[in-house]
Amino acid sequence: MGVLLAGILRNDERFSLCSAHDAGNQIKICRPGEMVVDFSSPAGFERALKVSCECGNSFFSGTTGITVAQKDKMKEAAEKIPLFYSPNMSVGINLIKKTLKENFEILKSFDIEIVEAHHKEKKDSPSGTALLLAEASGTAREKIHAIRAADIPGDHWIYLARNGELIEFHHRAVSREVFARGAIDAILWFAGQKAGLYSMEDFLAAASL
């Protein structure tokens, strides 16, 4: 995702890509006015967040697999800097999440199972997106089923069953560019926001797509 996003940013005249970093070239400092964009690992996330806080710059992240302690650090940082976090930048996934949250009380009467499938190199299991959907629907973690195979960009199914009826939500990412383009739109909206914790939910509420 980081490599894909960097490639798009380089070719988009609305942006100026100041520098790019990975595990072998870790971020150490950022200049005033720059936004730190993080799609890395839990360790990379923590380092990038620390640099953002030290410099007082905006921080935008889509890194999955972060710990509860790291989420707490993120919330603490958001009191001082603008911070955007979402484990999935897809508009479609976040519309499903919104639907589940809005019907949270009704969903308590349903049996819910979530199935997610990703490429075999994906480190975290279950995916951050599956956990996002589970939280939105009040589903226990043990009701998430993960598949890791070949080069699947991302598939998520949510099954809701009750009294002889079955509701299915299915989202398929045909390519990773779906997430990169969603991130680009969110970054444009996020730029210039004041200190606080933002997500795709805030972006969708405010943006005209």
- Which listed residue (73, 101, 122, 143) is catalytic? 122
CB of 114 within 8 A of CB of 145?
yes
| HEC assignment per residue over the chain | CHHHHHHHHHCCCCCCCCCCCECCECCCCCCCCCEEEECCCHHHHHHHHHHHHHHCCEEEECCCCCCHHHHHHHHHHCCCCEEEECCCCCHHHHHHHHHHHHCHHHHCCCEEEEEEEECCCCCCCCCHHHHHHHHHHCCCHHHEEEEECCCCCCEEEEEEEECCEEEEEEEECCCCHHHHHHHHHHHHHHCCCCCEEECHHHHHHHCCC
Active site (annotated) includes residue 122: yes
Active site (annotated) includes residue 118: yes
- Which listed residue (118, 119, 123, 170) is catalytic? 118
CA separation for the pair 58, 174 (Å, rounded): 30
Contacts of 50 (CB under 8 A, 6+ apart): none
User: Which active-site residues does the annotation give?
Assistant: 118, 122
